Amino acid sequence: MEQSAHLGNMDPNYVPDEYKEQYDVIELPSQGILYTNKKSNVKVSFLTTMDENILSSPNIVNSGKLIDILLERKVKDLGFDTKDLLEGDRMAILIYLRSTGLGEIYKQAVIHPTTGKIVEGEIDLNNLKQKKLDIQPDDKGHFDFELPHSKQMVKFRLLTGRDEDEVDILDKSLMERNNDDISQKITLRLERQIMQIGDIDDKLRLSGIIKKMSIKDSRTLRKYMTKIEPGIDFETVATIQGGVEAATFLTIRTNFLWPEF
């Protein structure tokens, strides 16, 4: 009788300490240098059964919004929208969530170093290394680069998750409007990243220049952007049958957060 009375007075929202939301503190590869609040680390809560509902919802997975939804739910003290995180910081958090929630071993197809055949390999996500931002931007958050062919100086910025989403949307829209399958992502991304070429900073004029930029300048610039961009170094090794290691590049596909898919 006393026990029944006790249960009747219990707060229906009561959660024992061991079942309260748990989190870890994740260091951001960018070290917060490019953020207004200079946030260099964030609290990231562990995946739960509630998150599993999202991971197992094909409509969400196929919509392309899965990562945005997860980061919004799991990142706790950022101080700004998770879409405005640099893409490399977003990937670091994503890999942490995958490793702690679904296991650190990720299977993907790799090339056998001896036979050259495509086989299944296992990548230990805990072995991936962070790429830190080791070049200081100017007071506007821009970086400098001299184009090898035209010898023009370029000022550029790094893209956020929001930028990448908007580029994807615009690219699909242009393909539908032009009724072709020619993706313009390379141009669209450069138009967002490049803030100045020489003494020109007008976006309309820059767009025209970017479209006529030589492949040598474009490729060298994009390679440099990738080199300095903070994030995760996806070049790694996979272990295949027999304990053989094969050099590979981590590819994040649909089954990264949905292994049963």
> Of 156, 137, 136, which is closest to residue 145 (Cα–Cα)?
156
From the DSSP assignment, how many helices (H) and strands (E) are in the chain? 9, 11
For helices 161-178 and 185-193, give the axis angle rounded to 10 degrees: 140
Residue 84 parent element (H or E) = none
- Whether pTM exceeds 0.85: no
Whether residue 246 has pLDDT greater than 80: yes
Q: Are 15 and 8 in contact (CB under 8 A)?
A: no
Q: Dihedral (C-alpha) 171, 138, 85, 223: value to the nearest 10 degrees? A: 50
* Tokens 């981590």 found at: 250
Reported as a single tens digit per residue, the pLDDT across 171-183 is: 999 999 988 889 9
Whether residue 4 has pLDDT greater than 60: no
Reported as a single tens digit per residue, the pLDDT across 104-125 is: 999 999 999 999 999 999 999 9
CA distance 254 to 98: 12
| Predicted pLDDT of residue 10 | 59
